[in-house]
Structure 1
Amino acid sequence: MNPATLTAQPFWEDATFWREHVNSYRELRPGQRTQVWIGGPTMPTPTLLLETDGILLEAPNWSPDGGFLYVNGHGTLWTIDLDTADLREVHFDRLPEINNDHVLSPAGTSIYMSATDGQIYKGALSGGPVERITVNDGVWHFLHGVSPDGGELAWVEMSDFSEPGRLVIGSSSAGGNSRTIDTGRGHLDGPEWSPDGTWIYFNTESFTSRAGHAQVARISTQGGPAELLVKSDSVDWFPHLSPDGRFATYISFPSGTLGHPADLDVRVNVVSTDDWPTPIESYALFGGQGTINVNSWSPGSDRFAFVAYPLHGVQE
């Protein structure tokens, strides 16, 4: 979902912020660049795929055929060729501007996208017509997960931002049924299925009394108590499991961060799902919002993509 702001109040209560930011796309600051990187469990040093000062790109998805990344920028969807780093826009008909919440269908033919009107849309990866999936007006739907069988979506639902977000599981077909899963009293984000379909992984503030102190957790798809996976002094967001279920990534913000704002010194961590507290690799970069909002693992589970936004030169 879109960035949070550093305020004394819980970030999800800042209605002015939401009104100003969920309806517009982000742009690079003067002197800032977008860098798309490739890392992995056996890559101490990531590889730079693309660098540009022309457009702010966010939130990579890796295509099922392994040949492309899908990212958002300037309110639209783009592809990045993994061989040539060529950047191409995907054109949709009558699609509102999209944000950095988009996931590919397991079949590899469609993409689900959260738009700035608060709704979720489905379109072909090649572009063209879109279908609106969610039906409730006046409610924000921030998409993050699709079930392994493709039948359901997981999103964070918010109305007037006076309460923390709710985890909702809904049909991936237009107008289908939905249900809410209780994850505790705190705000949550990034709900995403495990590859075997039995768990929803997410970040939550329910395990602490410290304002904004998100930590990585999971809950059964059938509900029940949430399980804390990483207890740390950093603010941890967006857990993403590799397709084989062996590895995961998540992003760590500095202690005291509220939400997941842009332009901070952060770390992207790679862990074994058998040992979440111990990073296998950890990449320091300047970024945050847009770096790794959605699952960006390759089909082979050996690599993943992430984005940095350095203000001067290449961010090593």
Structure 2
Amino acid sequence: MSVALRKLLPGQTCQVWTASPTGEDPVKRFETSLCRLEAPNWLSSGDALVLNGDGLLWRLSLSEERQLDAIEVTGAPQLNNDHVLDPDGEYIYLSAYDRQIYRAPVRGGAAELITKDPSVQVLHYLHGVHPRGDRLAFIGLQPAGGDGPAQADVFTMSVDGGDYRRLTSGPGNSDGCEYSSDGNWIYFNTELFDGHAQIARMRPDGSGLEQLTSDDCVNWFPHISPDGKWVTYMAFPPGTQGHPSNVWVDMKLVALDDWSTVTTVDRLFGGQGTFNAPSWAPDSSAFAYVSYPIEPTR
């Protein structure tokens, strides 16, 4: 299937960063003008990141050499920026531009199609894997029909492609659904409350919905640290529609048990691709994200 992959603009570079919840300045780990890398996942070994770019999957070593290598995945179309590691660290679940979900060895190899049920008429965008490894949390997008808009809601399903469960049903769209580290909650961003994206959580059966942010920013993609102490998310400017690329955004950090105090860790030029996937280090010492600065023209 032919898609228009996101590319770097003239004069634009891709920078991969990590930041710590303890307050140190963010660290630039890698920079390139050859490929628009997106959505870092941290490998369970702690020594490398997995990102997508140009429809492919890439491994970025965090050693001094900072080597970037393509991961050869066969049997899947071009990949987008919704990918999540299985808890065993050996496999990765992948969303592709055919709007289906696949599972492949994280070191490369043949991909297996997970979403095989033809009766399920939604487009799939993966965001979370339960800590037990038995269920996936994803956004199901129902395309616009007639005069109605497209609708994006939170779903879960078993990792073998069955037992679909729809957990939200508008009004407005939801996205970025991710399990907490203990599996007791699903965190996500949603327009359910006031018509623009706020961070919320609910139980895995859809009960116990709670609003966690209530500001004017358009807040997306909550990611929970493995130790269950921290949440990071990305704040777009007030009035932003969706989660576009090439805009100024703020990287936010908050203690999971105290949403009254939110810290801005970094302000960067990015958006779509910066922070779509779970990106904490396995020891919760840091999280990763991507910026796309553009050099001013003379």
TM-score w.r.t. the length of structure 1 is 0.88
Q: Deviations over 1:31-61 (max 9, x none)?
A: 0000000101123410000000000000000
Distance in 2 (CA, whole Å) between partners of 1:67 and 1:27 is 27
Tell me which of the two structures has the higher relative contact order, counting C-alpha pairs closer than 8 angstroms and 6 or more residues apart: 1
Structure 1 residue 274 displacement after superposition? 1.5
Relative to structure 2, which stretch is displaced further, 106-115 or 304-313? 304-313
In structure 2, C-alpha distance between the alignment counterparts of 1:241 and 1:275, rounded to whole Å: 13
Report whether the alignment pairs 1:231 with 2:218: no
Unaligned runs of 5+ in 2: none
Question: Which of 49, 55, 62 is the matching residue for 1:69?
Answer: 49
Aligned-partner residue type, residue 11 of structure 2: G
Counterpart residue number, 2:131: 148
Aligned partners of 2:142, 2:211: CA distance in 1, in Å? Answer: 27
Query: What one-letter code is carried by the residue in structure 2 that aligns with 1:110?
Result: Y
Q: TM-score, normalised by structure 2?
A: 0.93
Structure 1 CA distance for aligned equivalents of residues 275 and 109 of structure 2: 26
Higher mean Cα deviation, 224-233 or 298-307?
224-233
Give 1:43's match in structure 2, choosing from 8, 23, 29. Answer: 23
CA contact (8 A) 1:286 1:309 kept: yes
**Alignment correspondent of 2:271:** 288
Does the 8 Å contact 2:126/2:136 carry over to 1?
yes
Out of 250, 253, 264, the position equivalent to 2:236 is 253
Indicate which of 155, 177, 182 corresponds to 1:196: 182
- Could you tell me which of 213, 217, 225 is aligned with 2:200? 217
Residue 116 (structure 1) aligned with residue 97 (structure 2) = yes
Consecutive unaligned residues of structure 1, counting only runs of 5 or more, are 1-18
Matched length: 289
| Distance change in 2, residues 1:300/1:139 (3 Å) | same
User: In structure 1, what is the equivalent of residue 191 of structure 2?
Assistant: 205
| Contact kept in structure 2, 1:75 and 1:98, CA below 8 Å | yes
**Structure 1 residue 163: Cα displacement:** 3.4
Q: Structure 2 CA distance, aligned partners of 1:180 and 1:269?
A: 29
Shift of 1:281: 4.4
Task: Give the alignment partner of residue 13 of structure 2, picking from 11, 33, 36.
Answer: 33
User: Bigger shift: 30-39 or 179-188?
Assistant: 179-188
- Range that drifts further, 216-225 or 199-208: 216-225
| Partner SS, residue 109 of structure 2 | coil
Any idea what the Cα deviations from partners look like across 1:55-106, whole Å, max 9, x if unmatched? 0000000001101100000001000001121100000112100100000000
The Cα of 1:166 is off from its aligned counterpart by 1.7
Q: Find the aligned partners of 1:256 and 1:281 in 2 and give their Cα distance.
A: 19
Cα distance in structure 2, aligned partners of 1:222 and 1:168: 10
Aligned equivalent of 2:60: 80
CA contact (8 A) 1:43 1:281 kept: no
